[in-house]
Chains A and B, each alone.
Chain A
């Protein structure tokens, strides 16, 4: 009996758990303060959530929460104002960059960004987008390109890839009938009013890190008053692409990125 107990004791001694590493001192990644606690309404695995978090992280890092004003679009991100702990305004479909223009002109010391989908920015809001960029407004435009109208149930967007199936192109996008996918970022990068223009993605940890840098630049360049910063984020839409989130991120890598290559399209100080 005695012998057995001794055996057990030493056995338990070996099992004594190491001290937990989950203490504040070791914390290396946490949700940024600029995101509210409200759970996001986005579908599981949707890139909108990652894009939101990166913007919030940059605002935290720059310490500009009190001085930032965002403009939410119409599209899946229509409730973006519920998720950011900064002043936000909602714009009519496609008009976010025009609303942002007004805000920035009245309050030039604020950091102003618009957050817009591809249907919003590159279809109904093409006019506003191009003229905001051409006027060289000192704002940051975040462009979420998921190649589809997500919110309304997966119709073709200007950015939909050739041959891609959507509810309005059930046999795939036929460029003869529906035109070519629009690379609006390449178009606006040509405009002298655009100071910084970059295309990033959020489908892998490496891409997420680079995306954050681009958003950081976008906010930082506003201090120079040199014109528009434009950051396109290529994202997924698992629900309307009819894939699992993991499949959609793979599909994005294999199909979206060859057509929408990542990188800086316009970088201050570099000839393009």
Chain B
């Protein structure tokens, strides 16, 4: 199994606070800030640290202000290599 961890960067100055990203986020990680940006819009902020990097928020954002990052950590698998006596067949065995 692979462990997935994601994160996003929001360009809050260009966000228009439409909340489409928040509605599309399966992790409910996004919410409107109480603060305003210089254009006078409440902007979106991340309120949870559970982002999976699924890109849903970025897909529905009309102003393309979300950048998405995703890191997939592969669990280290223990692998044994077995070679037969004549040395012409090698198989890898997962633990």
Contact = CB atoms under 8 A, between A and B. Distances in A.
Contacts of A244: 18-19
B63 A246 contact: no
Interface in A173-210: 202-205, 208-209
A230 to B, nearest CB: 23
Given A21-B6, A245-B20, A40 B63 contact: yes
Contacts of A74: none
Contacts of B62: 40, 42, 44-50, 53
B59 A45 contact: no
A201 to B, nearest CB: 11
B28 to A, nearest CB: 14
Interface in B37-81: 41, 53, 55-56, 58-71
A10 interface: no
Contacts of B63: 39-40, 49
Interface in A19-58: 20-23, 26-32, 35, 39-40, 42-50, 53
B56 A205 contact: yes
A23 B70 CA distance: 9
A245 B59 contact: no
Contacts of A101: none
A39 B14 contact: yes
B20 A31 contact: no
A49 B16 CA distance: 12
Interface string A48-92: 111001000000000000000000000000000000000000000
B18 A245 contact: yes
Interface of B: 5-7, 9, 14, 16-20, 23-24, 41, 53, 55-56, 58-71
A152 to B, nearest CB: 21
B87 to A, nearest CB: 38
A46 B60 CA distance: 10
A40 B17 CA distance: 14
A46 B62 CA distance: 6
A138 interface: no
B9 A22 contact: yes
A218 B7 CA distance: 33
Contacts of B70: 21, 26, 28
Interface of A: 20-23, 26-32, 35, 39-40, 42-50, 53, 202-205, 208-209, 238, 244-246, 249
A28 B55 contact: yes
9 closest A-B pairs by beta carbon, nearest first, are A49-B62, A45-B18, A44-B16, A29-B68, A44-B18, A245-B18, A31-B64, A26-B69, A205-B56
A42 B64 CA distance: 12
Contacts of B67: 22, 27, 29-31
Nearest to B49: A18
Contacts of B18: 44-45, 238, 244-246
B14 A21 contact: no
Nearest to A235: B62
Choose among B59, B62, B64 the residue with the greatest number of A CB atoms under 10 Å from its CB: B62
A47 B23 CA distance: 15
30 contacts: A21-B6, A21-B71, A22-B9, A22-B67, A22-B69, A23-B69, A26-B71, A27-B69, A29-B66, A29-B67, A30-B68, A31-B65, A32-B64, A40-B63, A42-B62, A43-B16, A44-B16, A44-B17, A45-B16, A45-B19, A45-B62, A49-B61, A49-B63, A49-B64, A50-B62, A53-B64, A205-B56, A208-B59, A246-B18, A249-B23
